[in-house]
Amino acid sequence: MTVFLFALGAGAVMAGCGGNEAALGEQARGLKCVDDSNVCISQRKIVYDSYMADKSRAWVKHPAGPHEYASGVRLMAFNKKRAELSCDELAHAKAEADRGPASLKSGANSGLTPAQIARAGMLAREVSRDLGREFARRCR
């Protein structure tokens, strides 16, 4: 699934990594960078790795928009960390994953391609299912 994360934007031609994003930090660029360029793949990996290393998991409750869903970084991090998340964090992560498909559709005018929207929606539904199972197993 990690390969899916970094290939999520494969085939898309989008300028999600340039322009006014230059002033943002690495994480903001990585979360909004959804094309298949080496730069975007590298930026997404940096963000993902920082999430995996963050013991406080402060990123869990940060808001996500269409590009954050399309990048797949947060969803993949939620899925990878699901066994470590508290019940509150699991509930928050599942709610975010559940909002993914609707957020992506509302972001259709934000430059995302139909293929990016479809792939990210599929990932959001899969992650929501996995988080729901973990929540049901541990947080009754």
Structural domain containing residue 110? 2-138
Could you tell me which of 73, 70, 65, 75 has the C-alpha nearest to residue 115?
70
Q: What angle do CA 121, 72, 124 make, to 5 degrees?
A: 30
pTM score, two decimals? 0.77
Taking the C-alpha atoms of residue 51 and residue 12, their distance in angstroms, rounded to an integer, is 25
Q: What residues have CB less than 8 Å from 87, skipping those under 6 apart?
A: 135, 138, 139
Band of pLDDT at residue 107, cut at 50, 70 and 90: low
Higher-confidence position of 40 and 94: 94
Number of domains in the chain: 1
State whether the Cα torsion 30-109-8-98 is positive or negative: positive
